[in-house]
Structure 1
Amino acid sequence: MTTDLITRDLVALDADFGYNVESVITHLATLVHNTGRASDVEGLAQPAIKRESQAGTGVPGGVAIPHCRSEVVSEPTLAFARLSRGVDFSGPDGDAHLVFLIAAPAGGGKEHLRILSKLARALVKKDFLEALRTVKTEDEIVKLVLDVVNAKKTKKAPAPAAEEKPAGDSKATRVVAVTACPTGIAHTYMAADALTQTADARDDVDLTVETQGSSNNESMSQATIAAADAVIFATDVGVRDRERFAGKPVIESGVKRAINEPGVMLDEAIAAAHNPNARKVAGTAGSAPAEAAGEGESLGWGKRIQQAIMTGVSYMVPFVAAGGLLLALGFLFGGYDMANGWQAIATNYSLTNLPGHQVEVDGALMTFDRAGFMLYLGAVLFATGQAAMGFIVAALSGYIAFAFAGRPGIAPGFVGGAISVTLGAGFIGGLVTGLLAGFIAMWIGKWKVPRWIGSLMPVVIIPLLTSLVVGLLMFLLLGAPLANLMAGLQNWLSSMSGSSAVLLGIILGLMMCFDLGGPVNKAAYLFATAGLSTGDEASMQIMAAVMATGMVPPIALSLATFVRKNLFTPAEQENGKSAWLLGLSFVSEGAIPFAAADPLRVIPSMMVGGAVTGALSMAFGVISRAPHGGIFVFFAIDPIWGFLVSLAAGIVVSAVAVIAMKQLWPNKTIEAAAAKESSVAA
């Protein structure tokens, strides 16, 4: 398997693969496809491009390592290009000329990822990079890479425990580090090796690194952690078992900073180790992080609150999606009068005792359009959906608190969310209780307590005291004002008609199309999904407007690439072939590659179309009982004609706008590429 990781057919030397990231990745994906290792170019290129839009994979030395896992990849594969024209992969040294595409199967085992991680580690070695730049043939590239990935691993002696520390080693500051990236393939190991190689060249630091990636990761011993003077967290995701490092001075950053500035991070860790006022890893034994991965307390409070709310939203969305779609299926099978009798049907009947058209609900007979198994199944689906929807405020609150205080914050956050529902404070109360629980739990977690009580802090004392304080504040002080605020919001939504509803639709459309899955988009989606728990028609109108506007950008851009192909790059033309399907599924992120490549033309065009769709959807009174699914939940949308007309109008407006913007305000880079392609064809 290892010898086939890369072949001469997967190598391109001194190639011109275009002028942007999308083009380079698509060309490399084509090499993989041509060797039979990927069943579809698009299916490999798009996940790598999407990963690139989240964080550039450029690293020191003019190197880029786009990477992804994909269902279309049959075996772990490397494709390499030495570019004649550098391309900006957001690296610290400017354009990248050496690009590796790491393609891993979606279900690849740890052995596959271990091989790929070896390559990533080699990319921080200057002699390896120099050889990649100078060799003349594809076979030499293959040999270089295979020598690296087949090299036997030398086992490093474990760091001595605190009591074993040699006397002559007193000048060296002991630092432990954790590196992790979202995919766990490349940056995790490159950051680890960049830190390690820098530390090995110095006498003032003794470093031990734990990689939390996808391949064969061994946790460092607790004795090593106990002996450490400081900790480095270089991660883009949460640190697993962060509580092991509680009380240690800590330096935090994203994983790429450890690759780009390993020496600076080591200097900061040494300084923190000798600073009695340095920030320390929060909590006591058994507790979890007080901050999400990333910049930690170096971030302003506004940014930290925003990240916490986004964490709560991300954990809440599965409850909303599952619950909302189950409610929609309940309507589909049981009829739209299901909402009035689902509880009686689901609890009083069974498969051996199916309901008829008339069912007793609250002492009165109610007539349903459907009967028998379909009515019973609809009621069961509806009841299950209601159960899921009942958790959304508690989940929002609980995971906002988790973002601040880790696991000790979850219970009081859920308690606060449940109290918010009881008092009628709704999702506004959930936001407030989540922030309160997070702040309070984080504060209690910093208390200095005797060792004997430390083990009780995260599992008993912090949840107990935080829940008590949040409960008292809600019942005695905050509950009634928040409930009144929520009631006022619901009354305002319910009273919307005419121009006010249209204005709200315009605002929601602008928000949904502004950052295509970013914080503004998520804020609009939260506003819509949180309102679904009330079940009133105004909330369902907002949900329909949000879903329709979120569908506009990918479909509009796909249409534009078909209508005026020459205005888009080859990679964008490829993206356009699948973006329409993402749009129909309400996946706004399908427009990200277009917006990332040309934001000044694309984003305003999409916002105009989104505003048109939002305005028309609200004007037509379209409602959606489902929070996701796009056109595929048509049965939960009423009237469907209003939804389709609103969507079509916005798509046409956005497509025309983006074509006009690109036509009247040309992108010089695209024009140059088009001219070159024309001359080659001639």
Structure 2
Amino acid sequence: MSEMITADLVDLDLSAQTKEAAARALAERMVAKGRVTDLDGFLADVAAREAQMPTGLDGGIGIPHCRSEHVTEPTLAFGRSAAGIDFGAPDGPADLIFLIAAPAGADDAHLTILSSLARQLMNAEFTSALRAVDDAAAAAALIRGDETPAAGTSENSVAEPIAAASAGTATEGTAPVPGATVDDGSAPAPGAAATDGAPSDNDARPFRVVAVTSCPTGIAHTYMAAESLENAGREAGIDIVVETQGSAGFTRLDPAVIAAADGVIFAHDVPVRDKDRFAGKPTVDVGVKAGINRPAALLTEVRGKAERGEVTSGSAAATPVERGGESGEGYGTKLRKWLMSGVSYMVPFVAAGGLLIALGFAIGGYKINKAPSVMDHFLWTQADSWGALFFQIGVVSFGFLVPVLAGYIAYGMADRPGLVPGFVGGAISLTINAGFLGGLAAGLIAGGVVIGIQKVKIPRPCAASCRWW
């Protein structure tokens, strides 16, 4: 395996003024090394990932990244900007930019290395060393783990996890967490909660938290959030075990660890898999960047909920969009998916109706739209009658477009309970001449209302009569 980053992939004087220009400058180095085959296609994939969620992080870090079919092997390019480049971080521009490129079918070994690097971006010594280094080869070696920061190197230094990952050794970044089982159908291994950050008083039981982190790509933010939460847990004396639902594998927490936890944190931008495992516990549910930027506040919040006795109920079955979300799409794309759910079911009506209308014109001529209803006049032996029949059936088919669109938008949001209000809303939009846009709005409103109603706890005596809901 060739080195993931070399001196040729490092630019310590990155002059780009925008994130697009920075990505292009670093991507051009990948093209020159033969790691990227189509510059524009790859940059389009980077831009699509950036559109889902800004990749700027507190501390002056930008991590544009993506999976792309235009990448030949997992590659990392590093640029350092004196002026700083805006990647959307709350605290301002980034001066350390890491462009991470993963092939569409990258294997776990490569992704393990990338995830280890993502964790090390939470290490202040690592980022300080990168700001001080003055040689491209030395910077590449530092990132690879060939060299460690000159001073103050700790057990969390860069060299250990990345070098271990390169050798195929399980690392802190991607190894199964204590008390966890790999999602391969095997039985959970017996284990207890993690002891990171346990208080010195062994007689006192520490507060225990389990967390799940995930992001659309599953390469960077997933593991950075995990590292940030673990570091904050150690500082606060809280036992925390994190399940990273990333690209390098889905490691399932041991049910015993979940049962022993006092609280749960979800830091995610794609649906949490098997979320019902965590029902009945105090839960904080936020985006993945909150897990990176304010882990201490999340731990304080979940502790407060536990003290107040606030718990979550069992979650409903996944909606069609959520079931599809396990492929990696983020919440930023959910609106598009809801709309496309409606459009996908509407298309057959468009195709069938359009074909029938075209046949009607072909058989009956361009004035067939003026023909009387076939219910009043139809002759089996007359071509115009058949043309009118096809045309009028096509028009009826077109009449279903808006109700079907609205109904299946609501279905994508709330599953089957959304169908009836969605269809009714679409029919109303036709009645009031709101048209296609009215159908879009009706579907979104219907789905949102049903989701809201589903969150209401139904009294047990009414549960049987509301089972359809």
SS of aligned partner of 2:266: strand
Deviation sequence 1:483-531 (CA, Å, 0-9, x none): xxxxxxxxxxxxxxxxxxxxxxxxxxxxxxxxxxxxxxxxxxxxxxxxx
> For the residues of structure 2 that align with 1:339 and 1:262, how far apart are their CA atoms?
67
The answer to whether structure 1 residue 441 and structure 2 residue 440 are counterparts is no
SS of aligned partner of 1:219: strand
For residues 244-259 of structure 1, what are the structure 2 equivalents within 5 Å? 244-259=277-292
The answer to whether structure 1 residue 157 and structure 2 residue 178 are counterparts is yes
The answer to whether structure 1 residue 178 and structure 2 residue 212 are counterparts is yes
Describe the shift of the 1:418–1:119 C-alpha distance in structure 2 as closer, same or farther (beyond 3 A): same
Deviation sequence 1:419-444 (CA, Å, 0-9, x none): 66788879476556434432332113
Corresponding position of 1:216: 249
Describe the shift of the 1:419–1:188 C-alpha distance in structure 2 as closer, same or farther (beyond 3 A): same
Describe the shift of the 1:121–1:281 C-alpha distance in structure 2 as closer, same or farther (beyond 3 A): same
Q: By how many angstroms is 1:189 displaced?
A: 0.8
Q: Matched residues, percent identical? A: 37
> For the residues of structure 2 that align with 1:31 and 1:434, how far apart are their CA atoms?
46
Describe the shift of the 1:113–1:384 C-alpha distance in structure 2 as closer, same or farther (beyond 3 A): farther
For residues 447-526 of structure 1, what are the structure 2 equivalents within 5 Å? 461=463, 465=466, 467=468
Q: Is the 8 Å Cα contact of residues 178 and 192 (structure 2) preserved in structure 1?
A: no
Say what the alpha-carbon RMSD is for the aligned residues.
4.2
Deviation sequence 1:179-216 (CA, Å, 0-9, x none): 1112211101100111112212332x110111122221
Describe the shift of the 1:417–1:93 C-alpha distance in structure 2 as closer, same or farther (beyond 3 A): closer
Aligned partner letter, 1:434: G
> For the residues of structure 1 that align with 2:70 and 2:394, how far apart are their CA atoms?
34
Corresponding position of 1:111: 109
> For the residues of structure 1 that align with 2:105 and 2:374, how far apart are their CA atoms?
50
The answer to whether structure 1 residue 125 and structure 2 residue 159 are counterparts is no
Q: By how many angstroms is 1:120 displaced?
A: 0.8
Describe the shift of the 1:32–1:335 C-alpha distance in structure 2 as closer, same or farther (beyond 3 A): same
SS of aligned partner of 1:68: strand
Match of 2:422 among 401, 406, 417: 417
> For the residues of structure 2 that align with 1:384 and 1:104, how far apart are their CA atoms?
45
Deviation sequence 1:374-401 (CA, Å, 0-9, x none): xx9x99999999999774332222334x
> For the residues of structure 1 that align with 2:90 and 2:445, how far apart are their CA atoms?
40
Q: By how many angstroms is 1:26 displaced?
A: 1.0
Q: By how many angstroms is 1:321 displaced?
A: 4.8
Q: Is the 8 Å Cα contact of residues 72 and 103 (structure 2) preserved in structure 1?
A: yes
> For the residues of structure 1 that align with 2:362 and 2:204, how far apart are their CA atoms?
72
Q: Is the 8 Å Cα contact of residues 188 and 213 (structure 1) preserved in structure 2?
A: yes
> For the residues of structure 2 that align with 1:185 and 1:382, how far apart are their CA atoms?
49
The answer to whether structure 1 residue 282 and structure 2 residue 313 are counterparts is yes
For residues 186-335 of structure 1, what are the structure 2 equivalents within 5 Å? 186-203=220-237, 205-276=238-309, 278=310, 280-283=311-314, 287=317, 314-321=337-344, 323-324=346-347, 327-328=350-351, 331=354, 335=358
> For the residues of structure 2 that align with 1:318 and 1:441, how far apart are their CA atoms?
20
> For the residues of structure 2 that align with 1:56 and 1:88, how far apart are their CA atoms?
10
Deviation sequence 1:53-78 (CA, Å, 0-9, x none): 44221223321110012222111111
Corresponding position of 1:625: none
Q: Is the 8 Å Cα contact of residues 422 and 446 (structure 2) preserved in structure 1?
A: yes
SS of aligned partner of 1:267: helix
> For the residues of structure 1 that align with 2:384 and 2:133, how far apart are their CA atoms?
77
> For the residues of structure 2 that align with 1:412 and 1:223, how far apart are their CA atoms?
34
> For the residues of structure 2 that align with 1:386 and 1:110, how far apart are their CA atoms?
50
Deviation sequence 1:121-143 (CA, Å, 0-9, x none): 11111222222222332222222
> For the residues of structure 2 that align with 1:180 and 1:168, how far apart are their CA atoms?
33
Q: By how many angstroms is 1:150 displaced?
A: 3.2
For residues 327-366 of structure 1, what are the structure 2 equivalents within 5 Å? 327-328=350-351, 331=354, 335=358, 337=360, 363-365=378-380
SS of aligned partner of 1:49: helix
Q: By how many angstroms is 1:218 displaced?
A: 0.5
> For the residues of structure 2 that align with 1:16 and 1:311, how far apart are their CA atoms?
35
SS of aligned partner of 1:211: strand
Q: Is the 8 Å Cα contact of residues 312 and 396 (structure 1) preserved in structure 2?
A: no
The answer to whether structure 1 residue 88 and structure 2 residue 86 are counterparts is yes
> For the residues of structure 2 that align with 1:429 and 1:35, how far apart are their CA atoms?
51
Larger CA deviation: 118-127 vs 49-58: 49-58
Deviation sequence 1:405-426 (CA, Å, 0-9, x none): xxxxx22222443566788879
Q: Is the 8 Å Cα contact of residues 396 and 417 (structure 1) preserved in structure 2?
A: yes
Q: By how many angstroms is 1:466 displaced?
A: 6.1
SS of aligned partner of 1:140: helix
Q: By how many angstroms is 1:236 displaced?
A: 1.8
Corresponding position of 1:74: 72
Aligned partner letter, 2:6: T
SS of aligned partner of 2:210: strand
Deviation sequence 1:589-625 (CA, Å, 0-9, x none): xxxxxxxxxxxxxxxxxxxxxxxxxxxxxxxxxxxxx
> For the residues of structure 2 that align with 1:245 and 1:361, how far apart are their CA atoms?
60
Q: By how many angstroms is 1:311 displaced?
A: 5.0
Q: Is the 8 Å Cα contact of residues 56 and 90 (structure 1) preserved in structure 2?
A: yes
Gaps of 5+ in 2: 146-160, 181-190, 323-330, 365-372, 432-437
Task: Give the alignment's TM-score, normalised by structure 2.
Answer: 0.72
Aligned partner letter, 2:10: V
> For the residues of structure 1 that align with 2:128 and 2:242, how far apart are their CA atoms?
26
SS of aligned partner of 1:443: coil
Aligned partner letter, 1:414: L
Q: Is the 8 Å Cα contact of residues 120 and 189 (structure 1) preserved in structure 2?
A: yes
Deviation sequence 1:250-291 (CA, Å, 0-9, x none): 112211111111112112122221112x3x33336x6569xx
Q: Is the 8 Å Cα contact of residues 325 and 385 (structure 1) preserved in structure 2?
A: no
Aligned partner letter, 2:422: G
Q: Is the 8 Å Cα contact of residues 11 and 81 (structure 1) preserved in structure 2?
A: yes
Corresponding position of 1:351: none
The answer to whether structure 1 residue 97 and structure 2 residue 120 are counterparts is no
Q: Which has the higher helix share?
A: 1
SS of aligned partner of 1:232: strand
Aligned length: 401
Describe the shift of the 1:466–1:415 C-alpha distance in structure 2 as closer, same or farther (beyond 3 A): farther
Corresponding position of 2:412: 399
SS of aligned partner of 2:202: helix
> For the residues of structure 2 that align with 1:339 and 1:245, how far apart are their CA atoms?
61
Larger CA deviation: 263-272 vs 190-199: 263-272
Corresponding position of 1:23: 21
Aligned partner letter, 2:405: I
> For the residues of structure 2 that align with 1:91 and 1:418, how far apart are their CA atoms?
42
Q: By how many angstroms is 1:223 displaced?
A: 1.8
Q: Is the 8 Å Cα contact of residues 231 and 250 (structure 1) preserved in structure 2?
A: yes
Describe the shift of the 1:5–1:60 C-alpha distance in structure 2 as closer, same or farther (beyond 3 A): same
SS of aligned partner of 2:208: strand
